[in-house]
Amino acid sequence: MAVVIASSLRKELSGSVLFDGVSFKVERRDRLALAGPNGAGKTTLLRALAGEVSLEGGDLALSKGTRIALHDQRPPAQSRQALRDYVLAGTSDLAAVEAQLRELEQSMASGTHDAATMRRYSAAQAKLEHAGGYDWRDRAASFVRGLGFTDADLDRPLATFSGGELTRASLARALASQPDLLLLDEPTNHLDIESLEWLEKLLETLDAAVILVAHDRWFLEAVTTAVLELEGGKSVYFPGAWHVWRRERAARAIFQTKTAERQTEEIARLERFVERFRYKKSKARQAQSKLKQIKKLESVRVRAPDDKRRTLGFEFLKPARSGRDVVVVEDLCLRAGDKPLFDGASFAIERGEHVALVGPNGSGKTTLLETILGRRNPVSGTVRLGHGVEAAYFSQHEAELDERGSVLDAAMSGTGLKRPEAQSLLGKFLFSGWDEHEKSAAVLSGGERRRLALAIAVASGANFLVLDEPTNHLDLDSREALEAALEAFPGTVLLVSHDRALLDAVAGRMLAVEDRQIASYPGGWADYARAQEAEPAPAPTPKPKPKREQARRPAKAKPSALELVEQEVARAEARVAELEQRLAADWSDVTLLAAHREAREDLEALLRRWESLFEQVSDTKGV
């Protein structure tokens, strides 16, 4: 049954059409991704579905009693309200239903059993069960923990949290409200990779319809079951995974381009005929016929995809060659106040390496970058930059921007470029025209500051790029442009990012923060993830017995392929039974649910393999 059905939705802004004719249907457990360029109306559509924005046309139908929750990146107002109270405020109606049930139960225990009381009790109980049952408080707490908060954080006032933490609190509140329709606008912002993977597993098991906007490609690939593409005021609905939609969109673009070229050539040919013969009496009738053909072609003309979409332009300057050793860190100890971050960490980065630094939020990644660049002093240990190393720092907080003048002044002072070259650079980063160039750098929005800081890093000519979350506030096309530029950069890169697609494409080595140390893993993110999932090494093989003792024992027959699979089936069945026993105690644990599903799939695959081998053996024996 559909949770929401949208038909021909229309939205206008200041008299202009933002979108028109948008139609789609989302059922429970569907996860619909909204795709399209910035300004296409994705966030506006989410807010319209939540009832926060009006529509100028179309029909929007929700199933009866639908609970809606919207997470749209707007942090809660800073106040003395505790995190626990803020998150549970989204479930105030459930608390009220619970109180009503207790009141009715007391009345019934006192002898009140009239039909009206029983109907009220049944309706209240059904409403609570519809929202997930009596353990909604425990589930709310599990969402808070899954998003990186501790139990101690629950009693902290909102005013003590950072902007990123407040945004995660908004997401926790949306999840905790037990919605039937969950609307998520950039839910991956401010999540570390552990929380991202937790959210992916949660959405896969959530018994709700989900509509989301995100720029994290791995996240979209993991959770999306359908895509609604918004562009040019129109929409295209595509059922299927994210990568299938992207492949289909690319094929559609190629087809449109070729069709548009053929139509343009045909119209030009017909126009040449008309121009040549329209005034000759012998050809006048044919010329009129050609004009009709032109008019008909114009009425069904296919337009080539707009390739003039404003996206960032990345082209790193070729840097000077540095010495072989770019960074050497030895026995480093770092603290943040009283919190120890690193204790005796050592590593080195050589010329030309592209290295990613990964670890959970709060593990000290940004502090380590700033220490490498000489902006912080270590407690102990040494950090040395090699000969000829010229570093450019793209900070997560844009602290390196010169805010004393205009955007153009900041670009010129940060890069050493002259005015015309700096203006050209700003144009590539979407600062166009005199007004945007002369705008004060101090009044830029968060997204504008990110773009300006990235422009300065790109044009610096540095041979050592230190990048802290460079893809924040970038759309998909711009992320992929940055990715391609970093891959081609011949200098050295040290990158901190939660964008796993970027990490996998750019990094040739991963430095992971583990127990206040730095561990090194070859390869990109996928290789690192496989290394983390690898089983522990097997126990050492016992020392073999002397040969003469072995000779007295009969040789043991090597197990057949069928016997080996039977052993694997037994282990898989034991694993499934163990997970089912654990789920019986806590069915709301999404990690256990995902593990149980995976174990069942592994067992089914092994059983299919066993059946195939059994049939082969039977055929061989003539059974």
pLDDT tens, 159-173?
Answer: 888 777 888 888 988
Q: What is the pLDDT of residue 562?
A: 66
**Does 306 reside within a domain?**
no
Least-confidence region, from 35-44, 107-116, 131-140, 459-468: 131-140
**Does 149 reside within a domain?**
yes
What is the token pair recorded at 384?
């040395």
More confident residue, 606 or 197: 197
| Alpha-carbon separation of residue 243 from 26, 220, 229 (angstroms) | 20, 9, 13
Query: In the structure, what pLDDT confidence band is assigned to residue 601 with cuts at 50, 70 and 90?
Result: confident
Are 527 and 606 in a shared domain?
A: no
Exposed, middle or buried: residue 233 (CB in 10 Å: 0-12, 13-18, 19+)?
A: middle
Q: Which residues contact 601 (CB under 8 A, 6 or more apart)?
A: none
More confident residue, 305 or 424: 424
**Does 473 reside within a domain?**
yes
Least-confidence region, from 14-18, 289-293, 569-573: 569-573
Query: pLDDT exceeding 70 applies to what percent of the chain?
Result: 83
Are 213 and 250 in a shared domain?
A: no
Are 35 and 96 in a shared domain?
A: yes
Q: What is the pLDDT of residue 544?
A: 45
pTM, 2 dp = 0.70
pLDDT tops 60 at residue 537: no
pLDDT tops 80 at residue 433: yes
Q: What is the pLDDT of residue 22?
A: 93
Q: What is the pLDDT of residue 405?
A: 86
Are 235 and 280 in a shared domain?
A: no
| Region 397-420 average pLDDT | 80
Query: In the structure, what pLDDT confidence band is assigned to residue 225 with cuts at 50, 70 and 90?
Result: very high
Q: Are 501 and 217 in contact (CB under 8 A)?
A: yes
More confident residue, 125 or 264: 264
Query: In the structure, what pLDDT confidence band is assigned to residue 548 with cuts at 50, 70 and 90?
Result: very low
Are 56 and 186 in a shared domain?
A: yes
More confident residue, 116 or 540: 116
More confident residue, 555 or 148: 148
| Region 460-486 average pLDDT | 85
Backbone angles phi, psi at 564, to 5 degrees: -65, -40
Residue range 173-211, pLDDT digits in tens: 898 888 899 999 989 887 888 888 889 999 998 989 999
| Region 405-422 average pLDDT | 88
**Does 553 reside within a domain?**
no
Q: Which residues contact 530 (CB under 8 A, 6 or more apart)?
A: none
* C-alpha to C-alpha distance for 16 and 380, rounded to whole angstroms: 61
Q: Tell me, what DSSP letter sits at residue 376?
A: S
**Does 307 reside within a domain?**
no
Q: What is the pLDDT of residue 467?
A: 92
Residue of 596, 592, 536 lying closest to 572 (CA atoms): 596
CATH number of the CATH domain containing 349 = 3.40.50.300
Helices (H), ranges, 471-517: 476-488, 500-506
Name the domain boundary from 245, 275, 310. 245
**Does 551 reside within a domain?**
no
Are 241 and 145 in a shared domain?
A: yes
Are 227 and 295 in a shared domain?
A: no
**Does 539 reside within a domain?**
no
Name the domain boundary from 299, 317, 336. 299
* C-alpha to C-alpha distance for 502 and 525, rounded to whole angstroms: 9
Half-sphere exposure of 74 (CA within 13 A, CB side): 5
Q: What is the pLDDT of residue 451?
A: 80
Query: In the structure, what pLDDT confidence band is assigned to residue 397 with cuts at 50, 70 and 90?
Result: low
Name the domain boundary from 202, 223, 245. 245
Structural domains of the chain, count: 4
| Helix, strand, coil percent content, the chain, rounded in steps of 5 | 50, 20, 30
Least-confidence region, from 290-304, 367-381, 382-396, 533-547: 533-547
The type of residue at 610 is W
The type of residue at 44 is T
Are 572 and 494 in a shared domain?
A: no
Q: What is the pLDDT of residue 615?
A: 62
| Region 297-317 average pLDDT | 70
* C-alpha to C-alpha distance for 613 and 364, rounded to whole angstroms: 52
Q: What is the pLDDT of residue 295?
A: 87
Q: Are 277 and 283 in contact (CB under 8 A)?
A: yes
Q: What is the pLDDT of residue 75?
A: 67
Q: What is the pLDDT of residue 540?
A: 44
**Does 548 reside within a domain?**
no
Instruction: Share the mean pLDDT of the chain.
Output: 82
| Region 341-355 average pLDDT | 94
Q: Which residue range is the domain that position 596 belongs to?
A: 560-621
Query: In the structure, what pLDDT confidence band is assigned to residue 551 with cuts at 50, 70 and 90?
Result: very low
Work out the number of other CB atoms within 10 angstroms of the CB of residue 445.
Answer: 9
* C-alpha to C-alpha distance for 413 and 161, rounded to whole angstroms: 34
pLDDT tops 60 at residue 307: no
Are 221 and 93 in a shared domain?
A: yes
Q: Which residues contact 513 (CB under 8 A, 6 or more apart)?
A: 342, 357, 358, 359, 360, 363, 364, 365, 368
Are 238 and 260 in a shared domain?
A: no
pLDDT tops 60 at residue 541: no
Query: Angle at the Cα of 587 (from 586 to 592), degrees rounded to 5?
Result: 85
Are 8 and 104 in a shared domain?
A: yes
Cα–chain center distance at 93: 31
Are 23 and 110 in a shared domain?
A: yes
Half-sphere exposure of 427 (CA within 13 A, CB side): 8
